[in-house]
Amino acid sequence: MAEYEYVLTETRGNVGIVTFNRPDALNALNEQVAQEVTDALLAFDADHSIGCMVLAGGDKAFCAGADLKWIASQDFESAYLTDLAAYMDKVTACRKPVIAAVRGFAFGGGTEISLMCDMIIADTTAQFGLTEVTLGVIPGAGGPARITRAVGKAKAMYYVLTGKTFGAEEAERIGMITAVVEDGTHLDEALKIASRIAANPRLAVLAGKESVNQQAETPLIPGLKLERRLFHGLFSTPDQKEGMAAFAEKRKPDYRKY
């Protein structure tokens, strides 16, 4: 397994565990974190001894979203040229199941990463939310596309357009997550499920995941491409600059009136 700066990896039997390890920034995403998390999961996916993966965070945060110091500096040209936020789409290319074990904050990109996983187990402290609209952009890592498929258009529209945060109980009620468990038991429960999956015949598990995704995600790609281009374009707006600056300066944003 490769050496990483911002993720930890371990195995328990035939389950591979990838853990965000940037606690000083509440596991916030930047380009390197996104790449390391993705690459670690893909490495386990290619390991014939592994039958299932678990993606976990820390006690305070699973992943608090994008690192504002990194993402606020983007403009349309840089976002479009680098295809900002596209790298983690590779998580969904994993043929083996990936289970998100969520505790604490999972805002913005944190919610999007959890939605890339095949199951989400969250404890009672978990907090989700696609909050990007409050910063003058939209989620750009699959959030609108995947939450719509998970909870339906009406509820997805509400969460994407309000930026409202919500707890694990609400996430379970609307069908976004697999289960909510007692405080601190999220990883144990995720590992229990992962071990049960990994003990099943490998080809049947791969085929089962592929068949469910085929029904749930077709046609996902055109929606993702449109979403990402809109996301990139919003980095050229005054509202994006103001929203992210206000967040960093801990003040109320003063948006343009159109």
Closest CA to 41 of 67, 4, 83, 70: 4
Provide the β-strand partners of residue 123: 181
* pLDDT for the residue 216: 83
Report yes or no: 186 and 157 within 8 Å, Cβ to Cβ.
Answer: no
The class that CATH gives domain 7-186 is alpha beta
pLDDT digits (tens, 9 = 90+) for 3-29: 899 999 999 999 999 999 999 999 999
* pLDDT for the residue 56: 98
* pLDDT for the residue 95: 97
Q: Which of 16, 109, 110, 142 is catalytic?
A: 109
Say if strands 7-12 and 15-20 run parallel, antiparallel, or are unpaired. antiparallel
Task: Give SS3 for 125.
Answer: coil
Helices 220-233, 143-151: inter-axial angle, 10-degree rounding: 140
Q: Is 132 a catalytic residue?
A: yes
Q: Which of 16, 104, 112, 122 is catalytic?
A: 112
Question: Cα separation of 89 and 92, whole Å?
Answer: 6
- Number of Cβ within 10 Å of residue 258's Cβ equals 5
Q: Which of 25, 72, 126, 132 is catalytic?
A: 132
Banded model confidence at residue 49, pLDDT cuts 50, 70, 90? very high
pLDDT higher than 80, residue 160: yes
Report yes or no: 85 and 116 within 8 Å, Cβ to Cβ.
Answer: no
Q: Does 219 sit behind a cis peptide bond, omega within 30 degrees of 0 on the bond before it? A: yes
Q: Is 112 a catalytic residue?
A: yes
pLDDT digits (tens, 9 = 90+) for 98-153: 999 999 999 999 999 999 999 999 999 999 999 999 999 999 999 999 999 999 99
Q: Is 140 a catalytic residue?
A: no
Banded model confidence at residue 214, pLDDT cuts 50, 70, 90? confident
Q: Which helix (H) or strand (E) holds 196?
A: helix 186-198
Mean pLDDT of the chain: 95
Question: Cα separation of 33 and 44, whole Å?
Answer: 17
Q: Is 72 a catalytic residue?
A: no
pLDDT higher than 70, residue 258: no
pTM of the model: 0.91
